[in-house]
Amino acid sequence: MIVATAGHVDHGKTSLIRHITGVDTDRLEEEKRRGLSISLGYAYLPHVTELPVGFIDVPGHHRFINTMIAGVGGIDLALLVVAADDGVMPQTREHLDVIRILGVKRIIPVISKIDLVDEQRLRAVESNVGELLHDVRWQQEAPFRVNNKNGFGIDSLRAYLLNCASQCDTRDATGVFRLSMDRVFHVKGAGLVVTGTVTSGTISTGNEVLVQPGGASLKVRGLRVHDRNALSATVGQRCALNLSGKGKVARGGWLLGPSAAPLSECLDVRLQLLETLRFSLKHLTPVKVYLGSQRVTGRLARYRCETSSLGLNAGDNVIAHLLLDEPVPAFTGQRYLLRDASEETLLGGGVILDPQGFYCSKPDKHRLVYLESMAEPTPDAALRRLLEQDHVVDLALFRRAWNMPHETKALPGINAGRAFYADDKSWLTSRAKWSATEQELISFVSAWHRERPHEKGIRPDLVQRAMGSKYGIPLVLGVLSACLKNGALGLVGGYIIQTGFIPHAKDGADNQWRLVKACLSTSGAAIPVLSEIAVRTGITIEDVKIAAQSAVKHSQAFRVSDRRYALPSQLLGFAKNIIQLDEANAEISVAVAKQQWGTGRNLTIEILEYFDEIRFTQRRNNTRIVLDRSLPARLFSA
C-alpha cells in the first residue's frame, strides 16, 4: 500500500511521517535549514506482509504544487493533514482537489498540532474538515488527532494504517509495464537510478524498458522495492531501478514495456471542471496537462458534437480533446490533471478515453458513442458496451488503448460478440450486427442477379464499395469471407454469385455477339473500331458496344481502348510477336511493331498501351521491355 500526505504548508506532514516511520523525509540541506519540504520524500513502515507500507511526503507550499502532483499519482490512500491552529487553508483545498481528480478512493483526515488549541477549537476544525469532505462528496472517515511534539495519537493512526494495508486489494498486473519517473539520479559504483510507483504491469531484472520521451532502450540491472532488494516489482509498488544503456533520462519521463502503445499528441478525454472555477474556458484555450510526474503544454478543445456551446464553465462534465505540443505515452482509463497555462489555477481533470484520439471540427455521433463506451471502468465493460452499440472493434487497437499486452488472455466480453479476421486484423462485432450484414449482403447479390441476369456476377470491389459506407470495409470483408466458406455465396471466375447461379444472356445479345465476333475474327490483325463493326454488321453502335462489354465480362473479349475491343486470339498473336522480338533482343518500338503486325499507327499504339496497362510490357522512352512473358498465355487462353 502507498500512502501520500496532503495539506497546507507547515501543517506537520513531514513531522507526521517521521513519527509514524522513524524516517525524516526532508533529505536536502536546504529543507532542514528552512524547515520546509521542497522535494518529494519517501519512508517505509514495516508490515507483517512481505512488503512494508510506503509513504510519500509531498511539499505543501503553493510554489511546489507541481512536485506534489508528481508524488500522488498511483497512491492507494491519502492523509489529509490539517493543523488545529490554522484549520482548513488554501493548499488544503487544492491538495484535496488534486487527489480527488486523480481518483484516490480513500482519504484519512488527520488533525495535527492539537497541543496548540483547546477542545472547542479542535471540534470546530474537525467540523470544518468534515464539511469540506462532504462538499466534495467524499466518503468520510473519523479524523485522527495527533500531537506533533510528543507523538500522541500516532500509535492508533499507525495501527489503523497497517490494518488498511492488510485489507488493501491486490491490483491487476496484466498490463504493459509503466512507471512515471519522479526521481532520477546517479549512484557511485552503480550508475543511473530512477524511482517511481509502478502504474501497471510488472518489471524484473534483466528486462528491457523504453524511455519516453526519447525512445531509448535501457536494461534493468537491479531493483529495490519499498527500499528492499528485489528481483521484480509489480503495479502499485514503489521501486528504484538501476538502469544501463545510452539515452536521455529525466524526471517527469516514463519507463515503458517494449509493447506499449505509440505516443500521441491528441487525447480524447472525459473532463470534469472544478465547481469552484472562477472563469470560463474558451475553445482551444492553452493549458498544462499533468500525466503522472510528466507535464506538457497544450490546448483544450471542446468536443463540439456534444453541445452547441463552445465555452466551458465551472462544474462542466464533458468529452473534450487535449491537443498537446509534444507526444506522450497514455492509455484509456489513465487519470490526468489540468492547470491553466501560467500554472496558477487547478482547472480540473478526469480520465483518458482514447489515447490515440483525433481532432475533428465536426465529429459524428458514432464517435461520441464510442468514447462514452470507453469511459467504462474496465476494458471488458467497455467492450460489452461497444457491442451493445453495434460497433466494429479493432481488437489490437482496443488492447493497445487499454494498455493490454497482445498475449493477454481473451476478454470475457469477446464471447458475447462475433469475432472475425479481415484486412490482416482481428475484429469483433455484435452477433446482431453480423447477422444483419450477412442478410443484406446475400440480398444485395440476389438483387444484382435479378437486375443483371446476363452478367457472371458482381466483382468483390463493387460489393465493398456498395456496402462499405454503411457497415465498414472490414465487416463486409469478414462477412463475405464467411459466406464464401459456408456456401451461402460462391466465387466463380473472380465474381461473387449466389450458389448455383447461371448467367442468362439478354434477348438477342447472343446473336449480336455472334455477329460482332465474326466481324472481329475475319479482320485478322486489322482490328476494327466499334463504328466500323456497326457498319459491317448492320447493328447500331450502341448494341455493338453492349455486346462487346458483355463479352468482356465473360472473358470472350478484351477492351483495348474506348473505341476498340479484341478477341483473345488476336491479342495473343500480337503478344507472341512481342515475346519473339524480346527473345531476339530486338527493339520493341511503335515503328517495329507496326511493321511486324502490318497494322496502322493508331491501332499499333493502342495495342502497345494496352499491353503496358496489363503490365505485360513497360514503356521506357520510345521503346518497351517485357515484364512478364507468361502473362499473355494465362490471360488470353480463353
Is 470 annotated in the active site?
A: no
C-alpha cell at 203: 518489471
Q: Name the active-site residue from 24, 47, 61, 612.
A: 61
Q: Name the active-site residue from 5, 10, 76, 92.
A: 10
DSSP 390-408: T--EEHHHHHHHTT--TTS
Nearest to 397 by CA among 474, 301, 478: 474
Is 433 annotated in the active site?
A: no
Nearest to 81 by CA among 47, 101, 107, 50: 107
User: Who's near 391: CB < 8 A, 6+ residues apart?
Assistant: 369, 370, 373, 429
Q: Could you give the CA distance from residue 97 to residue 102 in angstroms, rounded to a whole number?
A: 9
Nearest to 514 by CA among 537, 530, 542, 532: 537
Q: Could you give the CA distance from residue 600 to residue 580 in angstroms, rounded to a whole number?
A: 20
Q: Name the active-site residue from 8, 13, 19, 545.
A: 13
Sign, Cα dihedral of 189, 190, 191, 196: negative
Q: What angle do CA 14, 17, 20 make, to 5 degrees?
A: 150
- What are the beta bridge partners of residue 623? 589, 620
DSSP 454-504: TS--B-HHHHHHHHHHHH-HHHHHHHHHHHHHHTSEEEETTEEEETT----
Q: Return the SS3 of 583.
A: helix
Q: Name the active-site residue from 5, 14, 285, 332.
A: 14
Q: What is the CA radius of gyration of the chain?
A: 36
Amino acid identity, position 445: V
Is 61 annotated in the active site?
A: yes
Catalytic residues: 10, 13-14, 61
